[in-house]
Amino acid sequence: MRFVLIDNGEPTQRRMEHLTKKYGLHIKMPVESIEPSKIRPDDVVILTGGGTVEVKDDNGFYADEVKLIKTHPGTIIGVCLGMQLIARTFGAPIVKRYRRLDERLITIFPERNSSIITKPVKVWQKHRYAVRTAPEGFDVLARSNSDIEIIKHRTKPIWGMQFHPECSGVVGEKVFEEILKR
């Protein structure tokens, strides 16, 4: 398995690199220089967190990533900002949180249709923006008390996680592994 990590400037990038090395090779591309010709159809594309430019106000900064979301035939996994990009690409609004979630554990709860998590678990989060409405064509698999936390496209291998699996210990690794199995 080969991973393409689209680096959106997330400080925990090294942890994501470590997590993906367990499953195969990875190449890293900065958001400013995505090279579609180097991305194979069977690559697992991971859109990392970050915040150089907020998704809500990007004015085209993430245009290459949006194109990738729309056209890549293989698996796409969006983490934090990456999930927000996926949600917005498919028509869901991105909302500014009343209060920023700064580096803390939160509890997420599975929806009835979730096979990714089956009981409440604690995960690590840090973000200012959130997804509260499912994008068209997606199922919600988990929520926190206020936001959507895991989404899955109904017909395409596109996933989103608002939390950071690379910082969530064993729980994050298990969620990531479950997604890769599907």
Six-digit token pair at 171?
A: 């729980």
Active-site annotation holds for 149: no
Q: Catalytic residue among 10, 65, 164, 167, which?
A: 164
Active-site annotation holds for 167: no
Distance separating alpha carbons of residues 141 and 161, to the nearest angstrom: 10
Write the DSSP symbol of residue 168: S
Q: Catalytic residue among 10, 26, 65, 80, which?
A: 80
Q: Catalytic residue among 10, 65, 149, 166, which?
A: 166
| φ/ψ bin of 23: left (φ > 0), alpha (ψ from -120 to 50), beta (otherwise) | alpha
Distance separating alpha carbons of residues 23 and 20, to the nearest angstrom: 6
Active-site annotation holds for 153: no
**123: three-class secondary structure by DSSP:** strand
Tell me how far CA of residue 76 lies from CA of 86, 111, 182, in angstroms.
9, 21, 12
Which positions are annotated as active-site residues? 80, 164, 166
